[in-house]
Amino acid sequence: FRESLRRFQGIWGAFSEVVLAEEKRTQRLVAIKCIPKKALEGKENNIENEIAVLHRIKHPNIVTLEDIFESTSHLYLVMQLVSGGELFDRIVEKGFYTERDASQLIHQILDAVKYLHDMGIVHRDLKPENLLYYSMDEDSKIMISDFGLSKIEGADSVMSTACGTPGYVAPEVLAQKPYSKAVDCWSIGVISYILLCGYPPFYDENDAKLFEQILKAEYEFDSPYWDDISDSAKDFICHLMEKDPLKRYTCELALEHPWISGDTALDKNIHESVSAQIKKNFAKSKWKQAFNATAVVRHMRRLQLGTSLEGPSQITPTSPCHGLLLPEEEEEGEEDDLGNGEEESCNKNPCLHDPFVKRHVQYVQSMFRQTAIMLKVHPALHHQHSIKWVQRISDSKLLLTLILIDVFILNM
């Protein structure tokens, strides 16, 4: 596999680079996570855990590890490529969206997570930005990604590390009590809540107050946003967002709920209200505000939540996406890293005449239109841009391909 891959330009993340590659014989595209061995020093257990988890799983709704190899300086993880975009973006792009659509999405997620739990694997970081569409097809399946915080349950190990993303993390995790795979079911409940109204069940600018809400499981089905949502959907959410993990629905029980397995999910179009709230509460500009992990630890100490039994906190940023790099949003000093001038850009990146680029222009244009909606770019300016370079986006380990462009942003 290694010798048959053709590499395209990538972009660096915190500790690794994700690049797009093509198998020469079949022209099949894959994503390769390139990890410098120097960056692994002191973190060997983390990557070994992720690889161990990925090696064990093979499910149609889970991004799979296809191969692994190494050089003297790097470790390479060959991953299945998913290119359909993020969950929220696709919902906003739709013109028609119902409870039944949400139910079908959650059904796929539950089926995949049940598979993980049956394998003794806990994801520990389920959230919308880790849910990707396999392709741009209208009927594309949903895929679960990012197993960096996943854990294999064992008889001799106790999970108590404060990890995950605030807003989706279960109360017992914040309380730093020993927890189980029930934490994933709580997260699915939070995701279900957002899919039906467009805003999170827990929110506060003050971190400590946010944690207090979660610890007490304080959430409401506010009017008018929930007036058109069925009682069955609310009942389903309540069973998953149950404070007591012993009373909380398992994936198996959730799959048997009539909102999932029956016909209680309504067919009324809720797209207008849900998409409006998603754009308001999860807009790209807000997504760029990374959550301060230090603040989490500080506030948890103030709340006297105790000390982790496993190790230091691994709270991850709440920001779902930092992927679209626009000229006016680049920070000082970044220009040289991304390419300064046409000559340097051409040397570092594929030419626009490359067959690979041509095959993906339609996909990229679709992604740009989708992003333009989120960034309030005037439709008349959609084609008033120049393609600058091709690169990989690896935020939250998302496997998306974008052609970065010059655009005019209005009323940001």
- Annotated active-site residue 125? The verdict is yes
Query: Does 171 sit behind a cis peptide bond, omega within 30 degrees of 0 on the bond before it?
Result: no
Task: Report residue 388: phi and psi, to 5°.
Answer: -100, -50
CA–CA dist 255, 249 (Å, integer): 9
Residues 6+ apart with CB under 8 A from 47: 35, 40, 75
CA–CA dist 292, 171 (Å, integer): 19
CA–CA dist 172, 300 (Å, integer): 13
For the chain, state the CA radius of gyration. Answer: 21
Q: Which token pair is 67? A: 């191969």
Q: Do the Cβ atoms of 382 and 372 come closer than 8 Å? A: yes
Catalytic residue among 101, 125, 207, 395: 125
Q: Do the Cβ atoms of 105 and 140 come closer than 8 Å? A: no
CA 245 to chain centre: 24
What is the b/e burial string over 21-57, where b = at least 16 CB atoms within 10 angstroms of the residue's CB?
A: bbeeeeeebbbbbbbeeeebeeeeeebebbeebbeeb
Task: Report residue 401: phi and psi, to 5°.
Answer: -110, 125
Question: Which residues does the annotation mark as catalytic?
Answer: 125
